[in-house]
Structure 1
């Protein structure tokens, strides 16, 4: 996965420092990303350090198409042949990070 946007808060005494980036969209990141080759009906395990709350979205050139069901940190790959762009948003208590990956269904 490739990291995109992130937002992080750091508290120091009475002050809170917020760091936020504005990266390319997952669709734009995917243009330069080598896809994972897979067969239909496969599953993808999503593992992110420090066990954040994870939300997964399917993307196209217009933006987010839909939220993808995730169970036990796994998503199911579609049945149809093609290229699929996913955004994984990891949320921790003090911030969140957007990650992108691409799956190419060969059969």
Structure 2
């Protein structure tokens, strides 16, 4: 199976650089952001690689389930193992660098 690259939807971000501060505060919730992403159609138990530029100091991945509960997902070697149950899931990727932080969103449908 081939590899495909997808760009996640960005929610909030903040970046501090020499005498400059960039900031975007999103009024949209993750459900609204997920609508803007082309939902990935994936298979049960597959793997997904998360690549973030600029070598972040931390990445936290939250999986939002259809019942609106969330679980923190382990990221190992920049990969996650997808759920083994069919359904729709939204992922919130919270990234921090020395100079800033950002939140990204993507969604998947498992058949």
Name stretches of at least 5 consecutive residues in structure 2 with no aligned partner.
Answer: 1-7
Structure 1 position 11, deviation (Å): 3.0
Contact map agreement 1:27 1:60 (CA 8 A) in 2 = no
Query: How many angstroms apart in 2 are the aligned matches of 1:50 and 1:2?
Result: 17
SS, match of residue 18 in structure 2: strand
Superposition CA RMSD, Å: 2.0
Whole-angstrom CA distance in 2 between matches of 1:64 and 1:22: 23
CA apart distance, 1:18: 3.2
63, 67, 70: which one aligns with 1:58: 63
1:2/1:64 CA distance change after superposition, 3 Å: farther
- 1:6 aligns with 13
Deviation at 1:50, TM superposition (A): 1.5
The answer to whether structure 1 residue 21 and structure 2 residue 28 are counterparts is no
CA distance in structure 2 between the partners assigned to 1:45 and 1:18 by the alignment: 30
Structure 1 runs of 4+ aligned residues shifted over 4 Å read 60-64
What TM-score, normalized to structure 1?
Answer: 0.83
Aligned equivalents of 1:89, 1:68: Cα separation in 2: 12
Which of structures 1 and 2 has the bigger CA Rg?
1
- Partners of 1:29 and 1:88 in 2: how far apart? 12
